[in-house]
Amino acid sequence: MKQVKKLIGAIALVWALFPLAGSAQEPDATTILDGVRLAKVDRELNGQLRKEDGTTIPFRLTLSGSQVIYRFSNPDETLRVELKDSASTLKQDEGGKSRLVAGSQLTERVRGTDVSYEDLSLHFLYWANPKVEGEQTVKGFSCWIILVQHVGRDSNYASVRMWVTKEGSGLLRAEAFNAKGKLEKRFEVIAGQRVEDKWIPKQVRIQVYNPESGRQESRTYLEING
């Protein structure tokens, strides 16, 4: 809990928190999301995806300016996320070839976990016409609630609701919904750590739900060791 109370830094995959000065007045939703997207951290870290059955998938995480790079082995696979001003891109290096991850591949699961390629790409941070829905305190942090909606077919989700801390502009929680407004997946920062005077996640919980029953079907933890 003490780690969570201190969490105000940068979000990277995979779900780190980005620094931005807070404001007493309500900014527009685009300005809030700009703060989430524009972190600059340079560090190499070890991480893993941990499935509910205890299976772990280790990776090497490189944070380099606007790039977030995941390097997996057995088999070798490198995923490069580039967070630009108006869009993000995800490229996959595999078998000596590099290609853009797009279309239906975005909806596929990474290494059989509950994390999809779309989740790592953070595309939803750039969806058009974001809206501020209100404010809420989460884990002791005062947050803006932002709703974004997707137009198109290259997504698992129709909309995503995000809780962004007013101080530090950190993405603390996100919930993804289908076209009927039913919850499909929840992401939540459980614990954080300090890296280069910024707080990044130490553990993020990803929960998959049955949209009809509302029950949790599975969960995966994304864990980063500073």
pLDDT exceeds cutoff 70 at 1:
no
128-180 pLDDT tens trace: 889 999 999 998 989 999 999 998 778 999 999 999 988 877 899 999 999 99
Residue labelled with tokens 């058009």: 128
**Size of the chain in residues:** 226
pLDDT exceeds cutoff 70 at 5:
no
Give the mean pLDDT of 66-87.
Answer: 92
pLDDT exceeds cutoff 80 at 101:
yes
pLDDT of the residue at 197: 63
Confidence of residue 3 (pLDDT cuts 50, 70, 90): very low
pLDDT of the residue at 21: 35
The amino acid present at 117, given as its one-letter code, is Y
Percent of the chain past pLDDT 70, that is, above it, reads: 85
Task: Give, in order, the Cα–Cα distances in Å from 26 to each of 30, 122, 144.
Answer: 12, 24, 9
pLDDT of the residue at 40: 66
Q: How many CA atoms lie within 13 Å of 105's alpha carbon, on the beta-carbon side?
A: 10
> How many CB atoms within 10 Å of residue 124?
22
Confidence of residue 66 (pLDDT cuts 50, 70, 90): confident
> Among the CATH numbers 2.40.50.100, 2.50.20.10, 1.10.40.50, 3.30.460.10, which is that of 2-225?
2.50.20.10
E strand map for the chain: 41-51, 56-65, 67-72, 77-83, 88-94, 97-100, 131-138, 141-149, 159-165, 171-177, 183-195, 198-209, 216-225
The residue extents of the domains of the chain are: 2-225
State the pTM of this model.
0.85
Q: Mean pLDDT score of the chain, rounded to an integer?
A: 86
The Cα–Cα gap between 107 and 102 comes to 9
pLDDT of the residue at 95: 79
Query: How would you class 96 by CB atoms within 10 Å of its CB: exposed for 0-12, middle for 13-18, buried for 19 or more?
Result: exposed
185-222 pLDDT tens trace: 999 999 988 776 666 789 999 999 999 999 999 999 99
Give the mean pLDDT of 30-34.
Answer: 91
